[in-house]
Chains A and B, each alone.
Chain A
């Protein structure tokens, strides 16, 4: 199944077609294919199939020649020797890109256009082609192929990456999802079995009352009239007593059944929620960055709730409905087979009607859901920005925007309400028609029975029981008709839950990984290359070495890769090439949690959890004493303002808690880092969002924190970094300069010197 995803979803070749491989072999004999990509647009911007195939010395363009050979497309080729190529130029469009290949004398030799879908694969090809070309020109020998580089896999993964980001587990059929959900019932075999058994019992019991009515009429009341029995009142009480018994037993059973299934359902959904959350915590940052917080919260909360609903009610209901239909049908046939057939005929029609109604509702619900999210979208957009709305006096405009969405929702809901309000009376009408037919056919027979004194026709009791059974038919029919919708909703929820559970964390401990405790704090980057999206390199060959206890200031234009660099030190992501070593050991060979415990981070936007200030300071340092907490707060210049709150260290902060200013939050997070006592400290623009006065206080706090630890500090205000031992200048993913402040200033054309000048001018400007 997973093999043909490209074919199924995109109607795109799963790998390089054999005919194209042959064409390549003709154009570049004896060359191994390194990498290939599809260009899915032709020169007239129509969808077509052209292949870019990179060998060891040639880039070959393979495209349909427009002719056919034995009924197959004939391919023509254009082979470009890598040595003669100058550069590749990438021009991005709205929904497509163009790759221009230019030769050494600056002439365009080939130009291909392709959609976004192919962009990652073409990007890979361009990257490899450039590397190969460079190495060809440098040492004039075809470079070695990396061992684990399979062109077909690279191509497939590149094209499928976008799909996998939207949905991690592809090709999980609905049936598979349902079966997997049922497998969660396994540990609860006993309650489920009891629930089912009770359901069967209940169904059987429910068949009794119409039968008892029949006994009452045919075997007691009628014989009394003809004076055939004498102890009639005794039998009357027997029947009434039985009815009472049946009803009370069935209510008791359904009470037990509901309770068992509700509790079991809750156990299962609790387990799912916990598994889900536990697994989510294991997943890497890249998983979270590709999904909205809202959609992840939904999975843990409402999706698991929907599964509870299904296990508690839906599952048994499905089984019971089938049993009821069989039971009632059997009872009907036992009473009178010809009438039974009459009742059963409309059954398929009714089921179809319910099915069709369910399908229709599904579409309507989808539409309503869209309108609904458009309306709530306005709310979640505007309410956080209410200050801006007020400042620009746009209240009226916002009300109008909201009521537009609100009206659209109403219009949509109207369609839905029209649909179901029309449906139900129709259905009930149909039921009545059916019962009328039964009356029309059955009543004359009852009459004949009375006239012929029981020689032919149908006894009255049988007829009454029969109509009773007939009305019992409709509820299960309705349930089964609605089942497709239930199954749809449940399998959607279940597969969204399973998707998270199936996502494999891509940052994991090696089995033999050992913690190094305590770390010295020696950090080394060896030719590190890194990419977030697999195509564009964000770090390009960064190399440096930092001694234990050294403080490094990271500066450079935004987007230069500073945050990315520290993400790699923390191993939030793994490098693409090269290596990051802490204390001489590659971070991938270290025990993850043990290593991260010794790294402290202070971010630009400090995050405080809901809880007291003391709990926030002690986050990650579970055994801290009150004295230590106060000492840390003091060192962070936070003690004084904390004592100023009526609740002191027990002031609740975080969402819905006491509002703190940016500087105050920052100092609490610094206190957290101080208490944490890390060997390696990372400050990512820790002082960017505070005023100069507060910055001075934070600065002092930081100075205490930095002492004796390896520190990486990112800052925009260069003055902040005056205490740094060395400065690293990052630009465009490269470490372009490093040295002390004085050394860097000494290079008049240097990036740092320029940055310094601009900031000095800016200061002068503000000072005026």
Chain B
């Protein structure tokens, strides 16, 4: 097991990022009349291709604005953007817009009640986009994200975020206490 391996016999790390290769292509984004986001790419010889794309986040929870993947409708990646900050304003705004649509999630600002319905919990909450009632499975625990936020998934797979739960009012915090660590 302890064979000494010469350093240069190690394999090179695999390049996964476009910035590791040299990205020479010329591209931009625009919104088509049918509402789709379209990627227009120009190769060196003056040929342009237009592909409707969907945006996907590689790390939607921890790094929502990094590693944004633009994919065609079949799920093939057309472009990977390592950091949204590094691209020009018009394209960035389009992507930010699209992300806002895609990553929409109510943020809970207050909890009115959590009642036990045997296999289910019935939540009555106030969110930043209005009041909401929902049900969670007893066995589904709220998930704690790395930054301390709490993410709740209801029976229909809708997500609710509690940003910084410690900042909730005392009454809500008391109700939520069962789920906090």
* A interface residue numbers (CB < 8 A to B): 9-11, 41, 45-48, 86, 89, 91, 93-96, 98, 100, 102, 106-108, 111, 113, 115-117, 119, 162-163, 165-167, 172, 177, 292, 295, 363, 366-367, 370, 408, 488, 491-492, 495-496, 499
Write out the residue numbers on chain A whose beta carbons fall within 8 Å of the beta carbon of B106: 47, 95
Q: Bound state CA distance, A102 and B32, in angstroms?
A: 11
Question: Are B35 and A113 touching (Cβ within 8 A)?
Answer: no
Q: A93-B103, A108-B35 are in contact. Are A116 and B158 (CB under 8 A)?
A: yes
Q: Bound state CA distance, A479 and B36, in angstroms?
A: 66
Question: Are A496 and B118 touching (Cβ within 8 A)?
Answer: yes
Residue of B nearest to A100 (CB): B35
| A-contacting 9-mer, from B12-20, B87-95, B129-137, B163-171 | B129-137
Question: Are B131 and A166 touching (Cβ within 8 A)?
Answer: no
Q: A9-B122, A93-B101, A113-B104 are in contact. Are A163 and B34 (CB under 8 A)?
A: no
4 additional contacts (CB under 8 A) given A295-B139, A366-B178, A492-B118 = A41-B129, A95-B106, A107-B33, A370-B141
Write out the residue numbers on chain A whose beta carbons fall within 8 Å of the beta carbon of B34: 86, 89, 100, 102, 106-108
Q: Bound state CA distance, A167 and B136, in angstroms?
A: 11
Q: Bound state CA distance, A408 and B181, in angstroms?
A: 8
A-B contact pairs, 21 of them (CB 8 A): A41-B104, A45-B129, A47-B127, A47-B129, A89-B36, A94-B60, A95-B104, A95-B159, A96-B104, A98-B101, A100-B35, A100-B36, A102-B35, A108-B34, A117-B154, A117-B158, A167-B117, A363-B178, A366-B178, A496-B119, A499-B119
Q: Bound state CA distance, A167 and B127, in angstroms?
A: 26
Question: Are B158 and A491 touching (Cβ within 8 A)?
Answer: no
Is B120 interfacial (CB-CB < 8 Å)?
Answer: yes
Q: Bound state CA distance, A584 and B166, in angstroms?
A: 66
Write out the residue numbers on chain A whose beta carbons fall within 8 Å of the beta carbon of B139: 292, 295
Q: Within the complex, what minimum Cβ distance (angstroms) separates B118 from chain A?
A: 5
- CB contact between A93 and one of B104, B131, B154, B179 (< 8 Å): that residue: B104
User: CB-CB contacts of B65-93 with A at 8 A, as 1s and 0s?
Assistant: 00000000000000000000000000000
Q: Within the complex, what minimum Cβ distance (angstroms) separates B53 from chain A?
A: 11
Residue of B nearest to A172 (CB): B118
* B interface residue numbers (CB < 8 A to A): 32-36, 54, 60, 100-106, 116-120, 122, 127, 129-135, 137, 139, 141, 154-159, 177-179, 181
Question: Are B131 and A11 touching (Cβ within 8 A)?
Answer: yes
Question: Are A167 and B118 touching (Cβ within 8 A)?
Answer: yes
Write out the residue numbers on chain B whose beta carbons fall within 8 Å of the beta carbon of A119: 156
Report, nearest first, the 9 A-B pairs whose CB atoms are least far apart: A47-B130, A108-B35, A95-B159, A93-B102, A167-B119, A117-B156, A162-B156, A46-B129, A102-B34
Q: Bound state CA distance, A91 and B101, in angstroms?
A: 10
Question: Are B118 and A495 touching (Cβ within 8 A)?
Answer: yes
Q: Bound state CA distance, A45 and B101, in angstroms?
A: 8
Question: Are A166 and B137 touching (Cβ within 8 A)?
Answer: yes
Question: Are A165 and B155 touching (Cβ within 8 A)?
Answer: yes
Write out the residue numbers on chain B whose beta carbons fall within 8 Å of the beta carbon of A163: 120, 135, 155-156
Write out the residue numbers on chain B whose beta carbons fall within 8 Å of the beta carbon of A363: 177-178
Q: Bound state CA distance, A295 and B119, in angstroms?
A: 11
Q: A93-B103, A363-B177, A495-B119 are in contact. Are A11 and B156 (CB under 8 A)?
A: no
Write out the residue numbers on chain B whose beta carbons fall within 8 Å of the beta carbon of A115: 156, 158
Residue of A nearest to B161 (CB): A95
Write out the residue numbers on chain B whose beta carbons fall within 8 Å of the beta carbon of A166: 119-120, 135, 137, 155
Write out the residue numbers on chain B whose beta carbons fall within 8 Å of the beta carbon of A106: 32-34
Question: Are A47 and B131 touching (Cβ within 8 A)?
Answer: yes
Write out the residue numbers on chain B whose beta carbons fall within 8 Å of the beta carbon of A495: 118-119
Q: Bound state CA distance, A370 and B129, in angstroms?
A: 30
Q: Within the complex, what minimum Cβ distance (angstroms) separates A372 from chain B?
A: 12
Write out the residue numbers on chain B whose beta carbons fall within 8 Å of the beta carbon of A111: 35
Write out the residue numbers on chain A whose beta carbons fall within 8 Å of the beta carbon of B134: 9-10, 117
Among B36, B60, B117, B137, the one with the most A-chain Cβ atoms within 10 Å of its Cβ is B117
Q: Bound state CA distance, A46 and B106, in angstroms?
A: 9
Q: Bound state CA distance, A12 and B85, in angstroms?
A: 40
Q: Bound state CA distance, A119 and B154, in angstroms?
A: 14
- CB contact between A10 and one of B105, B120, B133, B157 (< 8 Å): that residue: B133
Q: Bound state CA distance, A115 and B160, in angstroms?
A: 11
Q: A98-B101, A117-B158 are in contact. Are A47 and B132 (CB under 8 A)?
A: yes
Q: Within the complex, what minimum Cβ distance (angstroms) separates A87 from chain B?
A: 8
